[in-house]
A and B are shown apart, each in its own frame.
Chain A
Amino acid sequence: MNAERPRIPKAERMAPTDNELMEDVRDGRVEKLAVLFERYQTMLYNFFLRLTGNRAASEDLVQEVFIRILKYRSGYLSESRFNVWLFQIARNAHIDYLRKQKPALPLDEKHAETPGREPLPEAAYEADREAELVRRALDRLPVNKREILVLFRFQNLKLREIAELTGVQVGTVKAQVHRALKDLSRVYLELQRGDLS
């Protein structure tokens, strides 16, 4: 009886790649998107959380990404790297979110300090003071620098993938990572000194 169960053999198959799944979604088997959702929801949520500092907004943005995937699925190319395509959509969703937050705000440089970071409860703050300092330091970076660090450090995108994503040369990305880390280091030390005094 088991032998003729049609759905069981998938347990023995190799897991399909992101690209295969997305091709299926594009070609009308939208239920395959559930597998991609399970693979990426946490990663996307943390991407947005580190950019916005806002849990509710990050949850909305995760949903927004999947809405857009369905909307733009016919444009998915087989030769795409799925994670690059996904983060392209995620970045655009984030940019649109920022526009809605502060219509007049230019996206690049200077301002862009994140509003609305939810304060941690006192106990958690004490227990996790260092993480909180890092978080606050990240929040103080301009959004483009924060984004590059989040992509590189947390989303584990390769330098060439970030270059593809942001449309610049790999060498430029290397320099951007360097500058962003340098800034973060400076802000972190400032915060730490401020904290200690």
Chain B
Amino acid sequence: MTCEKIQEKYADYLTGDLDEAGRAEVQAHILGCQACREDLENLTVVWAKLGVLPEEQPGGAVRARFYALLEDEKRKAAAAAVPQARSRLADWLTFRRPAFAASFSVLLLLLGLGAGWFLSAGRPGRESYAALSREVQDMRQQVALSLLNDPSASERIQGVGYTAEVKDPSDTTLAALFKAVDADPNPNVRLAAVDALYLFRDRPGVRQNLVRSLSVQSYPLVQVALIDFLVEVREARAVEALKKLIEAGELTPDVKKRAEQGLRQIAL
């Protein structure tokens, strides 16, 4: 076998992808060929040296810019799609929100965190599993609460995503979500928070708070999301709030239409 043929095998040799027969050929050749032997030694050394280069993490701005780009793209798509009544649950679930795109990755992250906790905690027996689960839940909520206070909107959206993965959120967590719906400077965070609260719609206070929220909400998209929510859960108390909203005459035409339609749907 020629030196050239042997050298073709080096790439696979270095990655460990060369089969046994191939390795045997290389070994046999370098026994008798000093040039190739030295060549391969050098390559092996430099291959290993490349392994010392650390992987760097990109700055947080990369993520913020990406999510801004994605929001932009989704707004364009939503504008093209003409928002219509969304009475079907399936529609509702695939709604325009960013939170659940983000929350999938958050979920992966959490699974990782959870697994890490699991390992670092040794081998908890069956009896401590509940405690462990509780611990993970608490951790999620802590992370969520701290992210919800982050200056970056994409971080806050991630924070909302975390809360959506909590099985039984504390009152503090729910309060943070209500606050986000009412007062977050970014409408996408508000939308994400409405979405997350849908998961906790059976918790006391959630529906009332969102009915109240309807009267203070200023973003049309969020108004629509709130109406969708309240229609979806057939919230009777929303009837009064919707009527007032329509009478006040400050709604955009689209939202007004949705509110009137919502009124009819809740009554059904």
Is B58 a contact of A41 with CB atoms below 8 Å? yes
Quote the shortest CB–CB distance from A76 to chain B (angstroms). Answer: 15
Residue from B7, B46, B107 having most chain A Cβ neighbours under 10 A: B46
Residues in A145-197 with C-beta less than 8 Å from chain B: 149, 152-154, 159, 171, 173-175, 177-178, 181-182, 184-185, 188
Could you say which residues of chain B place their CB within 8 Å of the CB of A174?
A: 8-12
Would you call A117 an interface residue if the criterion is a C-beta within 8 Å of the partner chain's C-beta atoms? Answer: no
Is B164 a contact of A131 with CB atoms below 8 Å? no
Would you call A143 an interface residue if the criterion is a C-beta within 8 Å of the partner chain's C-beta atoms? Answer: no
Would you call B159 an interface residue if the criterion is a C-beta within 8 Å of the partner chain's C-beta atoms? Answer: no
Quote the shortest CB–CB distance from B232 to chain A (angstroms). Answer: 11
Known contacts A7-B164, A178-B8; A70/B69 CB under 8 A: yes
- Report the bound CA distance from A1 to B45 in whole Å: 59
Would you call A38 an interface residue if the criterion is a C-beta within 8 Å of the partner chain's C-beta atoms? Answer: yes
Is A7 a contact of B199 with CB atoms below 8 Å? yes
Is A185 a contact of B45 with CB atoms below 8 Å? yes
Q: Which of B94-102, B123-131, B252-260 contacts A (4 or more CB under 8 A)?
A: B94-102
Would you call A104 an interface residue if the criterion is a C-beta within 8 Å of the partner chain's C-beta atoms? Answer: no
Which residue of chain B has its CB nearest to the CB of A32?
A: B101
Would you call A106 an interface residue if the criterion is a C-beta within 8 Å of the partner chain's C-beta atoms? Answer: no
- Report the bound CA distance from A70 to B46 in whole Å: 38
Is B101 a contact of A33 with CB atoms below 8 Å? yes
Is B73 a contact of A135 with CB atoms below 8 Å? no
Would you call B134 an interface residue if the criterion is a C-beta within 8 Å of the partner chain's C-beta atoms? Answer: no
- Report the bound CA distance from A58 to B61 in whole Å: 12
Could you say which residues of chain B place their CB within 8 Å of the CB of A37?
A: 63, 66, 70, 105
Would you call B267 an interface residue if the criterion is a C-beta within 8 Å of the partner chain's C-beta atoms? Answer: no
Is A182 a contact of B52 with CB atoms below 8 Å? no
Quote the shortest CB–CB distance from B60 to chain A (angstroms). Answer: 10
Is B53 a contact of A34 with CB atoms below 8 Å? no
Is B53 a contact of A135 with CB atoms below 8 Å? yes
Range of interface residues on chain A?
A: 35 or more
Is B56 a contact of A45 with CB atoms below 8 Å? yes
Is B10 a contact of A63 with CB atoms below 8 Å? no
Could you say which residues of chain B place their CB within 8 Å of the CB of A7?
A: 93, 100, 164, 199
Would you call A93 an interface residue if the criterion is a C-beta within 8 Å of the partner chain's C-beta atoms? Answer: no
Quote the shortest CB–CB distance from B158 to chain A (angstroms). Answer: 10
Known contacts A6-B89, A185-B46; A131/B54 CB under 8 A: yes
Would you call A123 an interface residue if the criterion is a C-beta within 8 Å of the partner chain's C-beta atoms? Answer: no
Would you call A2 an interface residue if the criterion is a C-beta within 8 Å of the partner chain's C-beta atoms? Answer: yes
- Report the bound CA distance from A93 to B65 in whole Å: 17
In the complex, which of the residues A66, A130, A135, A175 contacts B8, with contact meaning CB atoms closer than 8 Å? A175
Would you call A100 an interface residue if the criterion is a C-beta within 8 Å of the partner chain's C-beta atoms? Answer: no
Could you say which residues of chain A place their CB within 8 Å of the CB of B9?
A: 174
The 5 closest A-B CB pairs, nearest first, are: A31-B101, A38-B105, A34-B101, A45-B58, A185-B46
Which of B's residues lie within 8 Å of A, judged by CB?
7-12, 14, 39, 42-43, 45-47, 49-50, 52-59, 61-63, 65-67, 69-70, 73-74, 77, 89, 93-94, 96-98, 100-102, 104-105, 107-108, 111, 164-165, 167, 199, 202
Which of A's residues lie within 8 Å of B, judged by CB?
1-2, 5-8, 10-11, 15, 28-35, 37-39, 41-42, 45-46, 49-50, 55, 58-59, 62-63, 66-67, 70, 128, 130-131, 133-135, 138, 149, 152-154, 159, 171, 173-175, 177-178, 181-182, 184-185, 188
- A/B interface sample: 27 pairs, CB < 8 A: A6-B93, A10-B107, A11-B111, A31-B98, A32-B101, A33-B70, A34-B67, A34-B104, A35-B104, A42-B57, A45-B58, A46-B56, A50-B53, A55-B56, A131-B52, A131-B53, A135-B53, A153-B47, A174-B9, A174-B10, A178-B43, A181-B10, A181-B46, A182-B43, A184-B50, A185-B45, A188-B49
